[in-house]
């Protein structure tokens, strides 16, 4: 029964990882950009929620109403002012610029909030749980998982059923021809980053409620998100959710064997899948 | 009618003449530099080596790794294990560290070369994390809290503290020269021509029959082995190792990337110049702490956006400088036409 | 000259160190079909890409309805009513046939063209509307590319080598549809290697040779020898 519990907890944890990954997947899909600062932006969201909590006395879940648009704005500005200048054939500039951004963010947070671990207090909901037969399931993890499913379904719908999604796909296919259709690439990229960081805001707040975080916590989150994307298969959003779940289950089972193996087990499962299925478990079938 | 191809420029020849006394002067450093200066110089030599190696990887082979701390930490830990657990003399352990670096990086390369571009970068980071978490599990090396090099091993290096400091410096200097020599040799070899071709146009290089995978694999393995050696020397200087210090992404990757970007990526001189600038900044601004790191990040971003060839690229475009005779020049063309 | 809707004045274009166009002058009057002919590499595609904003230029090099548009981005040029049917069709592979058409009209300019009218013009596209655009034959893809440009309800359509790589029967089909397209008062610049085709549908013709205008004349009256000379530079 312990093992079943571990698998269940891991599955729910996978929802959080899918939220880490969805934003990463989105901007890669639209503009082939890999944002090394993605994890630090997740942590930044948690700190913004913390500040809203302190200054306005908001529950972090309510603060989301402010954190999501704030992060979206930051994303749009970041893309238009800095990242758009690096977009092109050469992979090095965006990589190194987002890497520099990552270091800057970590140290700005260090200056503003010190290295002490922080926590977001969401109240009674944090400890609430329901019993399913022999298993106890936390309300919060279930909420996170459901949010992840809803976010991915919404992104999927946006991508394939809306004008914005059409514009994203067209720009991803052929940037210059999309420009001929009257789509301003710089603006489209800005919107993609805004959307990515809006999802990041959800991920950051849920992370902050679940565990303590500090300014250096971003790197691991980037890695978890990245592993979920690769396990699931590049460009497949539902695959990303599956990838998050596989990673989460690997970690909780690893932790069950020995607490020291939690993270390591996740990495090892990732490397095994990379060795056996380099395109991920559910690669997108390209036309 | 005599058409000849040369890589030498007047400056690079002059530079080679100046280089000999400089190297002699550096070898003699224990007799003219204080203990603190010697330590700083050792650190500079080791950082310069890391920067030159990372530049070969990212600037020439297009393998942008953010996980080279994997090999710094691996080299450091292996050196401690070989001397303390296997009882080897430090001088015997060092070449073994390089060999082990080659051996361990080969399967890693096979695995992570499946990731393209930026995803390769994050893949290297995952590998570094796997290394860190694995070494943190080894109780015989102190687990998560790390261990110190035992005094008798330190003593086996040389008699007396001054002599040991001198030896540590000579090792660092020697490693630096080995690294720069290896990179120059590699870039002047057939592999180097292939690398330059790949850097300039991967598709064209492939159509010329250059085996891109093999060229990149060779570079990755050579760089990783030498990075492990530098790691061993870094922790020989520090005398203490722990997973967090050994596999620090900030110390062994972030700083190194900033050095290369500021100095000029894709040139051999760039990382060397970048290291000197980095240490000059550090010695004057390090009191600023986190602000210093933020400034470093901002400078790196600004350089990447507005002068992507870095300081050395700027100087070279301005005056056509080249210290290391790497690029080929044709002389006698004008005569032939006349 | 005063009533020209589009005029190029001393248009130059460069790809790095290579200069593709040297001081090209060209005018297009409202409602007119202008053919641009020339050998491979003469600069025809470069000229259309410059007009469409894919290559940037000095503002005054291209004048459109009184605006100086030489330095505008492609999306800004599109918003002013210029559409390009690019060489090689360049459909969006991850969009369906219908989505390719719809995105052509995403600026929402008013005019006669709608999804329904494009389907009336090319009925086969309606049958294939839900397919991936890359699964169509070359001729059908070209119909989508033309339809996509028309969906923008442009005042000027630039067509680059629309018969390239297609079977003769398909080319005939597409050229038969052309009068129905330009009959709406739409102005068109057609780049074509097939000289006879180009002359048959146009009122005026320009010939480019190595980046320079080598001939300008009325399509119906210009002597064939002049064209041969302008085309091959003999």
Between chains, do A287 and C132 touch, taking CB under 8 Å as contact? Answer: yes
Phi/psi for A258 (5° steps) reads: -160, 125
- For residue B192, pLDDT over 70 is answered with yes
Q: Tell how far CA C17 is from the center of its chain.
A: 26
- Higher-confidence residue of A202 and C39: namely A202
Give contacts of C102 with chain A, Cβ < 8 Å: 166
Between chains, do B126 and A271 touch, taking CB under 8 Å as contact? Answer: yes
The answer as to CATH 1.10.3470 being correct for domain B4-331 is yes
Q: Does A236 touch chain C (CB under 8 A)?
A: no
Q: Which of A73, A55, A140, A105 is nearest to A214 (CA)?
A: A105
Q: What is the pLDDT of residues B99-147, one digit of tens each?
A: 999 999 999 999 999 887 778 888 999 999 999 999 999 989 988 889 9
Give contacts of B249 with chain A, Cβ < 8 Å: 219
Give contacts of A227 with chain B, Cβ < 8 Å: 126
Give contacts of A99 with chain B, Cβ < 8 Å: 66, 254, 257
Q: Where are the domains of chain B?
A: 4-331
Q: Which chains touch B (3 or more CB pairs under 8 A)?
A: A
Give contacts of A174 with chain C, Cβ < 8 Å: 90, 92
Q: Which residues contact A108 (CB under 8 A, 6 or more apart)?
A: B294
Angle at A157 (CA atoms; ends A151, A159), nearest 5 degrees: 100
How much of chain A exceeds pLDDT 70, in percent?
98
- How many independent structural domains does chain C possess? 1
Q: Which of C6, C1, C39, C43 is nearest to C22 (CA)?
A: C43
Between chains, do C106 and A183 touch, taking CB under 8 Å as contact? Answer: yes
Map tokens 């990783």 to a residue: B224
- Burial group, residue B200, by CB count within 10 angstroms (0-12, 13-18, 19+): exposed
Q: Does A285 touch chain C (CB under 8 A)?
A: no
- Whole-complex ipTM: 0.92
How far apart CA B245 and CA B241 sit, in angstroms, is 7
What Cα–Cα distance (Å) separates residue A147 from each residue in A22, A69, A143, A249, C131?
A: 12, 17, 6, 18, 33
Between chains, do A95 and B258 touch, taking CB under 8 Å as contact? Answer: no
Q: What is the pLDDT of residues C1-14, one digit of tens each?
A: 457 999 999 999 99
Q: Which residues contact C185 (CB under 8 A, 6 or more apart)?
A: C30, C31
Q: How far is A82 from chain B (nearest CA, A)?
A: 8
Domain of residue C225, CATH code = 3.40.50.300
How far apart CA B198 and CA B259 sit, in angstroms, is 23
How far apart CA A50 and CA A59 sit, in angstroms, is 9
Give contacts of B297 with chain A, Cβ < 8 Å: 100-101, 103-104, 107
Q: Which residues contact B318 (CB under 8 A, 6 or more apart)?
A: none
Which residue in C94, C106, C135 is closest to A181 by CB distance? C106
Cβ atoms within 10 Å of B183's Cβ, excluding its own: 25
What Cα–Cα distance (Å) separates residue C7 from each residue in C153, C154, C186?
A: 21, 17, 16
Handedness of CA A166, A285, A90, A197 (dihedral sign): positive
Mean pLDDT of B245-269: 91
Between chains, do B133 and A111 touch, taking CB under 8 Å as contact? Answer: no
Query: Which of A159, A180, A190 best probes binding to C when mutated, by most C CB atoms within 10 angstroms?
Result: A180
Angle at A26 (CA atoms; ends A221, A253), nearest 5 degrees: 40
Angle at B257 (CA atoms; ends B61, B182), nearest 5 degrees: 50
Write down the pLDDT at residue B6: 65
Pairing of strands C204-209, C33-38: parallel
How far apart CA A272 and CA A278 sit, in angstroms, is 9
Write down the pLDDT at residue A162: 95
Between chains, do A268 and B130 touch, taking CB under 8 Å as contact? Answer: yes
Terminal CA-CA length for chain C: 30
Characterize A251-267 residue by residue with b for buried, 16 or more Cβ atoms within 10 angstroms of its Cβ, and e for exposed.
Answer: bbbbbbeeeebbbbbbb
Write down the pLDDT at residue B333: 46
Query: Which of A39, A82, A107 best probes binding to B when mutated, by most B CB atoms within 10 angstroms?
Result: A107
Instruction: Annotate C112-172 with three-state secondary structure.
Output: CCCHHHHHHHCHHHHHCCCCEHHHCCHHHHHHHHHHHHHCCCCCEEEEECCCCCCCHHHHH
Give contacts of B119 with chain A, Cβ < 8 Å: 34, 226, 230, 234
Handedness of CA C218, C220, C221, C223 (dihedral sign): positive
Q: What is the pLDDT of residues B7-46, one digit of tens each?
A: 666 677 777 788 888 889 999 888 998 888 999 999 999 9
Give contacts of C78 with chain A, Cβ < 8 Å: 179-182
Give contacts of B261 with chain A, Cβ < 8 Å: 96, 100
Mean pLDDT of A80-97: 90
Q: How far is C232 from chain A (nearest CA, A)?
A: 32
Which residue in C79, C90, C93 is closest to A182 by CB distance? C79
Which tokens in the block code for residue B195?
A: 């690398």
Between chains, do A182 and C132 touch, taking CB under 8 Å as contact? Answer: no
Beta-bridge partners for C8: C26, C62
Q: Does A287 touch chain C (CB under 8 A)?
A: yes
Say if CB A233 and CB A239 are below 8 A apart.
yes
How far apart CA B8 and CA B14 sit, in angstroms, is 10
How far apart CA B74 and CA B128 sit, in angstroms, is 9
Write down the pLDDT at residue A66: 96
Write down the pLDDT at residue B326: 65
Cβ atoms within 10 Å of B269's Cβ, excluding its own: 22
Write down the pLDDT at residue B51: 97
What domain range includes position C23? 6-87+158-232
Give contacts of A179 with chain C, Cβ < 8 Å: 53-54, 73-75, 78
Write down the pLDDT at residue B2: 59
Which tokens in the block code for residue B164?
A: 């040991």
Beta-bridge partners for B177: none
SS3 state of residue B89: coil
Between chains, do C74 and A176 touch, taking CB under 8 Å as contact? Answer: yes
Q: What is the pLDDT of residues A215-249, one digit of tens each?
A: 999 999 999 999 999 999 887 899 999 999 999 99
State the number of CA atoms in the 13 A half-sphere of B189 facing the CB. 10
- For residue B203, pLDDT over 80 is answered with no
- For residue B331, pLDDT over 70 is answered with no
Q: Which of C162, C156, C114 is nearest to C138 (CA)?
A: C162
Q: Do chains B and C touch (3 or more CB pairs under 8 A)?
A: no
Query: Which of A156, A159, A174, A182 best probes binding to C when mutated, by most C CB atoms within 10 angstroms?
Result: A182
- Residue C59 domain flag: yes
How far apart CA B229 and CA B206 sit, in angstroms, is 32
Map tokens 């071709």 to a residue: B197
Q: Does C80 touch chain A (CB under 8 A)?
A: no
What Cα–Cα distance (Å) separates residue B42 from each residue in A234, B236, C66?
A: 44, 11, 69
**Which residues of B lie closer than 8 Å to A, measured between beta carbons?**
58, 62, 64, 66, 111-112, 114-115, 117-119, 121-123, 125-127, 129-130, 133-134, 136-137, 249-250, 254, 257-258, 261, 265, 290-291, 293-294, 296-298, 300-301, 304-305, 308
Beta-bridge partners for A268: none
Give contacts of C93 with chain A, Cβ < 8 Å: 173, 287
Which residue in A167, A172, A177 is closest to C90 by CB distance? A177
Write down the pLDDT at residue B335: 39
How far apart CA A18 and CA A154 sit, in angstroms, is 14
Say if CB B7 and CB B323 are below 8 A apart.
no
What Cα–Cα distance (Å) separates residue C139 from each residue in B134, B280, C104?
A: 59, 65, 18
Please count the helices (runs of H) and the strands (runs of E) in chain C.
9, 10
Give contacts of A184 with chain C, Cβ < 8 Å: 73, 75
Phi/psi for B65 (5° steps) reads: -100, 135
Q: Which of left, alpha, beta for C58 (phi over 0: left; psi -120 to 50: alpha)?
A: beta
Q: Where are the domains of chain A?
A: 19-218
How far apart CA C141 and CA C122 sit, in angstroms, is 11
Say if CB A280 and CB A233 are below 8 A apart.
yes
Q: Which residues contact A133 (CB under 8 A, 6 or more apart)?
A: none
Give contacts of A32 with chain C, Cβ < 8 Å: none
List per-residue pLDDT tens for chain C, 234 residues long: 457 999 999 999 998 888 999 999 999 999 999 999 998 889 999 999 999 999 999 999 999 999 999 999 999 999 999 999 999 999 999 999 999 999 999 999 999 999 999 999 999 999 999 999 889 999 999 999 999 999 999 999 999 998 888 888 888 888 888 888 887 779 999 998 888 888 998 999 999 999 999 999 999 999 988 888 888 876
Cβ atoms within 10 Å of A42's Cβ, excluding its own: 32
Q: A286 falls in which pLDDT band (50, 70, 90)? A: very low
Q: Which chains touch C (3 or more CB pairs under 8 A)?
A: A
How far apart CA A166 and CA C90 sit, in angstroms, is 16
Which tokens in the block code for residue B175?
A: 């490693």
What Cα–Cα distance (Å) separates residue B223 from each residue in B101, B170, B278?
A: 9, 21, 22
How far apart CA C70 and CA C51 sit, in angstroms, is 7
Which residue in B119, B134, B261 is closest to A96 by CB distance? B261
Q: Which of A178, A39, A150 is nearest to A99 (CA)?
A: A39
Please count the helices (runs of H) and the strands (runs of E) in chain A.
11, 2
Which residue in A222, A234, A261 is closest to B122 by CB distance? A222
- Burial group, residue C102, by CB count within 10 angstroms (0-12, 13-18, 19+): middle
3-state helix, strand, coil in chain A (%, to 5): 80, 5, 20
State the number of CA atoms in the 13 A half-sphere of B312 facing the CB. 23
Beta-bridge partners for C158: C84, C189
How much of chain B exceeds pLDDT 70, in percent?
91
Which residue in B58, B111, B301 is closest to A274 by CB distance? B111
Between chains, do B133 and A264 touch, taking CB under 8 Å as contact? Answer: yes
Q: Which of A129, C182, C224, B211 is nearest to C215 (CA)?
A: C224
How far apart CA A16 and CA B281 sit, in angstroms, is 41
- For residue B1, pLDDT over 70 is answered with no
Q: How far is A187 from chain B (nearest CA, A)?
A: 19
């Amino acid at each position: 029964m312990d093992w079943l519990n571990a698998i269940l907890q891991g599955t729910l944890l996978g929802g959080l990882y899918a939220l880490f990954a969805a934003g990463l997947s989105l901007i890669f899909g639209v503009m082939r950009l890999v944002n090394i600062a993605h994890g630090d932006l997740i942590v930044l969201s948690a700190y913004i929620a913390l500040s809203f909590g302190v200054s306005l006395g908001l529950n972090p879940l309510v603060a989301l109403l402010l954190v999501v648009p704030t992060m979206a704005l930051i994303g749009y500005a970041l893309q238009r002012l800095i990242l758009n200048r690096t977009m092109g054939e050469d992979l090095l500039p965006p990589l190194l610029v987002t890497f520099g951004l990552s270091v800057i963010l970590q140290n700005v947070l260090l200056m503003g909030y010190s290295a002490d671990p922080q926590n977001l207090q969401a109240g009674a909901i944090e400890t609430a749980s329901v019993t399913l037969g022999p298993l106890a399931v936390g309300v919060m993890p279930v909420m996170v998982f459901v949010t992840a499913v809803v976010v991915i379904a919404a992104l999927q719908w946006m991508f394939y059923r809306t004008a914005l999604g059409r514009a994203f796909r067209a720009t991803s296919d052929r940037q210059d021809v999309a420009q001929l259709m009257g789509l301003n690439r710089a603006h489209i990229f800005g919107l993609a980053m805004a959307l990515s960081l809006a999802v990041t805001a959800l991920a950051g707040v849920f992370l902050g409620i679940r565990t303590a975080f500090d300014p250096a916590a971003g790197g691991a989150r980037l890695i978890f998100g990245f592993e979920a994307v690769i396990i699931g298969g590049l460009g497949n959003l539902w695959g990303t959710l599956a990838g998050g779940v596989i990673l989460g289950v690997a970690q909780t089972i690893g932790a069950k064997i020995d607490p020291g193996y939690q993270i390591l087990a996740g990495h090892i499962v990732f490397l095994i899948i990379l060795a056996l299925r380099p395109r991920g478990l559910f690669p997108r079938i390209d036309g | 009618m005599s058409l000849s191809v040369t890589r030498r420029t007047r400056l690079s020849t002059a530079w080679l003449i100046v280089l000999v006394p400089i190297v002699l002067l550096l070898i003699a450093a224990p007799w003219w530099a204080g203990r603190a200066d010697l330590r700083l110089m050792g650190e500079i030599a080791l950082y310069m080596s890391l920067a030159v190696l990372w530049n070969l990887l990212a600037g020439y082979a297009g393998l942008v790794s953010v996980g080279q701390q994997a090999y710094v930490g691996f080299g450091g830990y292996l050196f401690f294990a070989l001397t303390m657990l296997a009882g080897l003399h430090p001088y015997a352990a060092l070449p073994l560290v390089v060999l082990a670096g080659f051996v361990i990086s080969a399967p890693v390369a096979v695995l992570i070369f499946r990731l393209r571009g930026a995803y390769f970068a994050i893949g290297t980071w995952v590998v570094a994390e796997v290394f860190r978490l694995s070494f943190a599990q080894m109780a015989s090396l102190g687990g998560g809290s790390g261990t110190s090099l035992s005094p008798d091993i330190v003593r086996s290096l040389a008699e007396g503290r001054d002599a040991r400091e001198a030896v540590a410096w000579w090792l660092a200097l020697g490693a630096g020269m080995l690294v720069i020599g290896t990179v120059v040799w590699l870039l002047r070899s057939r592999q180097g021509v292939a690398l330059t071709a790949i850097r300039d146009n991967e598709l064209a290089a492939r159509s010329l029959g250059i085996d891109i995978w093999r060229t990149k694999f060779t570079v990755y393995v050579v760089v990783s082995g030498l990075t492990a050696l530098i790691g061993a020397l870094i922790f020989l200087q520090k005398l203490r190792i722990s997973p967090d210090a050994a596999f620090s992404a900030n110390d062994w990757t972030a700083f190194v990337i900033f050095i290369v970007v500021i100095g000029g990526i894709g040139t051999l001189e760039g990382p060397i110049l970048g290291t000197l600038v980095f240490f000059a900044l550090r010695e004057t601004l390090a009191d600023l702490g986190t602000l210093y790191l933020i400034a470093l990040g901002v400078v790196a971003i600004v350089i990447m956006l507005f002068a992507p060839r870095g300081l050395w690229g700027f100087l070279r475009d301005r005056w056509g400088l080249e210290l290391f005779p790497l690029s080929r020049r044709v002389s006698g063309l004008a005569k032939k036409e006349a | 000259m005063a009533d020209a809707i589009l005029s190029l004045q001393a248009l130059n274009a460069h790809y790095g160190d290579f200069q593709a166009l040297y001081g090209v002058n060209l005018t297009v009057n409202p409602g007119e079909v202008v053919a641009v002919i020339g050998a491979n590499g003469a600069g025809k595609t470069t000229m259309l890409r410059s007009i469409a904003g894919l290559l940037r230029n000095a503002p005054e090099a291209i004048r459109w309805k009184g605006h100086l548009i030489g330095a505008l981005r492609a999306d800004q040029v599109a918003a002013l009513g210029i559409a390009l049917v690019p060489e090689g069709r360049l459909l969006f592979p991850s969009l369906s046939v219908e989505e390719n058409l719809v995105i052509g009209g995403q600026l929402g300019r008013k005019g006669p063209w709608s999804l329904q009218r494009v389907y009336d013009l090319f009925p086969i596209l309606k049958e294939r509307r839900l397919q991936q655009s890359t699964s169509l034959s070359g001729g059908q893809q070209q119909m989508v590319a033309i339809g996509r440009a028309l969906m923008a309800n442009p005042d000027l359509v630039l067509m680059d080598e629309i018969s390239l790589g297609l079977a003769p029967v398909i080319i005939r089909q597409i050229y038969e549809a052309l009068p129905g397209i330009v009959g709406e008062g739409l102005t068109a610049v057609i780049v074509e290697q097939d000289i006879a085709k180009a002359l048959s549908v146009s009122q005026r013709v320009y010939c480019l040779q190595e980046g320079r205008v080598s001939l300008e004349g009325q399509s119906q009256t210009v002597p064939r020898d002049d064209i041969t000379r302008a085309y091959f530079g003999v």
